């Protein structure tokens, strides 16, 4: 294969033809496969094509729901888009479990988002900071045409500060800005304000008569929001008396279960290897709802992982306590979400997901997503300290194995009966199917 110039200017059909002819050696079966995933509605397909670049087709994920998620006394049926076996089933089981024990509680601690303008200036730090402080009103006024609509909705630019970062790098400063973007994720709004701040401050420095020579040389390196939003924070909790954890299926007393569960969570707070897998379980639930509602799961994950390492060691994002006969399991996580604009308005399934949730505002969606993450990780840890993770996971994975091995309906029924109480493995099922087919 040779490098190609002008690929992005080709039509979608031309791109497919090029790939089939030059990479896939003329395999027209691949062309048919690609086209088979096009949406039958041409207008909708055109919208989907414009979400990204060099689009060839659509890549499908299963879209399921978690019913019975009770949050602050309100019942939700939560959309989840995810391909991993057992996630939706486990989260749903957890939601039903806690429905019978008072449900989930959640609250939004704050919704502040931040952005930075990164600057280099060769003068005395105190002089630049004093000058910046004196010009804050002028800088706000320069941003007014951008912030006006957001302010009408109850948000806008909150605080402005110039921070001295010369301890990190010579002549390095940051304009530190905080925002409330209400129900929008607000990335474009924040970045537009930051760029205006950078240009306006650079012009003010250049025009200031008290700055001479090298002091007029303020360099704006970049202006960009930060996906680390520790003050855009949500907390989700489940709590009940220990005796209410009674469950005949776990094979242990509620006291023993609570003690093992608390220790497992404590391990995730101490050991980075366990913490990584523990947090992955949380994001199994979070990402599925984020994706279904058209939000940016990559930004949420990056922020969550940074928050998990905020004290210098990467830790599990949940805490568990047993005190005065009460079991408490809590997730606290930063989460910048939107329910207006972007894909939430353009993607039909994202719009449907928000309708399914009762058209929540951003704060309510933060609570729903956090509780979904807590539900999923409760189910995961519960399995780990009782029956083990593989029993439930492999039962759900069984369908993938049977599909891979192209089992018939009759074969599927026999395999399910055979492996009801046996360890499920790909090789074991393959060998059993071979026996059935050779019989």
Active-site residue, selected from the candidate residues 296, 301, 347, 364 = 296
Sign, CA torsion 428/429/431/435: positive
Active-site residue, selected from the candidate residues 12, 39, 49, 84 = 84
Q: Based on C-alpha coordinates, what's the Rg of the chain? A: 27
Which tokens sit at 274? 């366990």
Measured at the CA of 313, the angle between CA 311 and CA 317, to 5 degrees, comes to 80
Element (H, E) at 67: strand 63-71
- What's the CA gap between 243 and 266, in Å, rounded? 21
With b for 16 or more beta-carbon neighbours within 10 A and e for fewer, the 363-372 pattern comes to bbbbbbbbbb
Active-site residue, selected from the candidate residues 31, 112, 347, 393 = 393
Which tokens sit at 356? 């399914």
Which tokens sit at 47? 């919208």
Sign, CA torsion 190/195/200/201: positive
280 catalytically annotated: yes
296 catalytically annotated: yes
Active-site residue, selected from the candidate residues 280, 305, 414, 418 = 280
Distance from first CA to last CA of the chain, Å, rounded? 48
Residue 173 is given by DSSP the state E
Burial category of 251 from C-beta neighbours within 10 Å (exposed 0-12, middle 13-18, buried 19 and up) = exposed
- What's the CA gap between 264 and 282, in Å, rounded? 14
Residues with a catalytic annotation lie at 84, 280, 296, 393
């Amino acid at each position: 294969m040779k490098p190609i110039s002008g690929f992005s200017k080709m039509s979608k059909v031309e791109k497919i033809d090029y790939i089939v002819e030059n990479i896939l050696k003329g395999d027209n079966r691949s062309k048919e496969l690609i086209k088979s995933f096009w949406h039958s509605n041409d207008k909708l397909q055109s919208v989907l094509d414009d979400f990204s670049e060099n689009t060839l087709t659509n890549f499908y994920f299963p879209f399921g729901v978690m019913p019975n998620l009770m949050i602050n006394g309100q019942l939700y049926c939560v959309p989840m888009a995810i391909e991993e076996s057992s996630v939706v089933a486990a989260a749903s089981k957890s939601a039903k479990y806690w429905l019978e024990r008072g449900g989930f509680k959640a609250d939004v601690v704050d919704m502040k988002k931040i952005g930075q303008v990164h600057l280099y200036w060769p003068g005395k730090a105190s002089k630049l900071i004093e000058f910046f402080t004196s010009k804050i009103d002028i800088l706000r006024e320069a941003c007014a045409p951008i912030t006006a609509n957001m302010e009408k909705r109850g948000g806008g630019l909150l605080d402005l500060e110039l921070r001295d970062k010369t301890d990190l790098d010579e002549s390095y400063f940051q304009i530190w800005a905080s925002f409330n973007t209400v129900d929008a994720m607000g990335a474009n709004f924040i970045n537009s304000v930051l760029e205006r701040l950078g240009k306006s401050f650079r012009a003010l420095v250049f025009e200031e008569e008290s700055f001479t020579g090298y002091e007029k040389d303020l360099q704006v390196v970049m202006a960009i929001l930060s996906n680390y939003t520790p003050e855009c924070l949500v907390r989700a909790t489940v709590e009940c008396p220990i005796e209410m954890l009674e469950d005949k299926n776990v094979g242990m007393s509620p006291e023993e279960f609570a003690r093992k569960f608390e220790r497992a969570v404590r391990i995730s707070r101490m050991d980075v290897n366990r913490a990584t897998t523990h947090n992955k379980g949380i994001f199994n639930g979070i990402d599925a709802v984020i994706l279904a509602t058209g939000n940016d799961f990559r930004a949420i994950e990056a922020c969550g992982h940074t928050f998990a390492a905020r004290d210098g060691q990467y830790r599990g994002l949940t805490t568990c306590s047993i005190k005065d006969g009460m079991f408490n399991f809590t997730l606290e996580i930063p989460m910048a979400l939107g329910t207006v604009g972007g894909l939430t308005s353009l993607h039909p399934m994202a719009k449907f997901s928000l309708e399914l949730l009762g058209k929540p505002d951003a704060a309510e969606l933060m609570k729903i997503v956090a509780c979904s993450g807590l539900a999923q990780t409760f189910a995961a840890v519960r399995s780990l300290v009782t029956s083990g993770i593989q029993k439930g996971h492999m039962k759900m994975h069984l369908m993938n194995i049977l599909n891979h091995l192209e089992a018939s309906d009759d074969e599927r029924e026999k395999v399910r009966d055979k492996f009801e109480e046996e360890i499920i493995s790909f090789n074991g099922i393959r060998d059993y199917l071979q026996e059935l087919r050779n019989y």
